[in-house]
Amino acid sequence: MNITKAELVISAVKPEQYPDSGRPEVALAGRSNVGKSSFINKMINRKNLARTSSKPGKTQTLNFYLINDSFYFVDVPGYGFARVSKQERQKWGKMMETYFTTRETLKAALLLVDLRHPPTKDDVMMYEFFKHYEIPVIVIATKADKVPRGKQQKHAKIARETLRLAAGDSLILFSSETGQGKEEAWAALLPFLTE
Ligand SMILES: Nc1nc2c(ncn2[C@@H]2O[C@H](COP(=O)(O)OP(=O)(O)OP(=O)(O)O)[C@@H](O)[C@H]2O)c(=O)[nH]1
Ligand SMILES: [Mg+2]
């Protein structure tokens, strides 16, 4: 994928703020710190367009990145961050549920899980949520560079089994450090981005 242009169009918290260009979009989902913002940066060859942090909870809004004037990556706040209040969790839940259940231009979700560990209960819930709402989902197992090559397939199998991944759904091993899985991720995404 040749990236000629990438810009943050808006950081939204409510539907009135979502872009209304009608262009297709794919949204990220996953635990805080799993590497959602880093994934976007790696995919579009930008160092820190999507702001990342070693501390969880960096992304707080729905950030719409317009790529090549033709589609959006939507970066979202992560879940499973222990140090947030119940009230904040509810606010997060509402914002995400509204977005994922009403957005007509959403073509697919990218569910990011950490390849080093089995998916969490929240990861499983998120996967089941997408299945329930019939949102196509591509699972990306991040931080693959932290798992020795010889062990990656074993970890991938555990991830597939824990999520009870449907037969047709793909799980892509990915690293924002090395670029592993980048072409595979583009190949999986492209069918959703052409109108
Ligand atoms: N080694 C390694 N580190 C990674 C990878 N992806 C992300 N990281 C690191 O993990 C930390 C979190 O990355 P982010 O991209 O900010 O994570 P996020 O999912 O956007 O987090 P929130 O915005 O808090 O939900 C950063 O320190 C990244 O450098 C990866 O593939 N490999
Ligand atoms: Mg982030």
Q: What is the pLDDT of residues 80-91, one digit of tens each?
A: 876 778 888 888
Rounded mean pLDDT, 35-52: 94
For 78, which DSSP code? -
Q: Which domains does the chain have, with CATH numbers?
A: 6-193 (3.40.50.300)
Q: How far is it, in rounded angstroms, from Cα 41 to Cα 46?
A: 5
pLDDT at 195: 62
Structure tokens at 66: 């317009």
Q: Is the CB of 37 under 6 A from ligand 1?
A: yes
User: Which residue numbers belong to the known binding site for Mg(2+)?
Assistant: 37, 59
Torsions phi, psi for 136 (to 5 deg): -55, 140
pLDDT at 12: 95
Cβ neighbours of residue 67 closer than 8 Å, sequence gap 6 or more: 3, 5, 6, 44, 73
Rounded mean pLDDT, 161-174: 95
Q: Give the number of other CB atoms < 10 A from CB of residue 186.
A: 12
pLDDT at 103: 96
Shortest-distance Cα residue to atom 1 of ligand 1: 143
User: Which residue numbers belong to the known binding site?
Assistant: 30-37, 57-61, 75-78, 142-145, 174-176
pLDDT at 177 over 70: yes
pLDDT at 43 over 90: yes
Q: What percent of the chain has pLDDT over 70?
A: 99
pLDDT at 148 over 70: yes
| ipTM of this complex | 0.99
Give, for ligand 1, the residue of 28, 31, 44, 53 to mutate: max count of ligand atoms closer than 8 Å to Cβ.
53
